[in-house]
Amino acid sequence: MKNTNKRSCVSDGDLLLQYEIGVMESILESKEQYRKVVKAAIAKWVKDFQLGHIEIKTVDDLKKLIELDIELQKDDF
């Protein structure tokens, strides 16, 4: 008699690996979305600065955005 139970054909190690891959894919997708938000915020900050809506004393906001973008990129290498 042929075993048709898929669970018995897949080892626990394989299931754990599949789960971990799914988690990593989800994390990478989230990071990609966060980077899009950060890039848009940086572009908006630069545009507002060019239009004179932001004074030099508020450059710390841009620095924080750039640092966040760099942090999100660290695992991309």
32-72 confidence digits (pLDDT tens): 999 999 999 999 988 998 999 877 777 788 888 889 889 88
pLDDT level of residue 24 (50, 70, 90 thresholds): very high
In this prediction the pTM is: 0.63
> Which whole-number Å values give the CA distances from 66 to 22, 24, 37, 48, in the listed order?
29, 24, 12, 16
Domains contained in the chain, number: 1
- Predicted local confidence at residue 50, as pLDDT: 92
Residue 19 located in a structural domain: yes
Measured between alpha carbons, how far is 38 from 44 in angstroms, rounded to an integer?
10
Return the percent helix, strand and coil in the chain, to nearest 5. Answer: 85, 0, 15
Q: What is the mean pLDDT of residues 18-29?
A: 94
Residue 48 located in a structural domain: yes
Measured between alpha carbons, how far is 19 from 23 in angstroms, rounded to an integer?
6
* Residue range(s) defining the domain that contains residue 29: 6-76
Residue 1 located in a structural domain: no
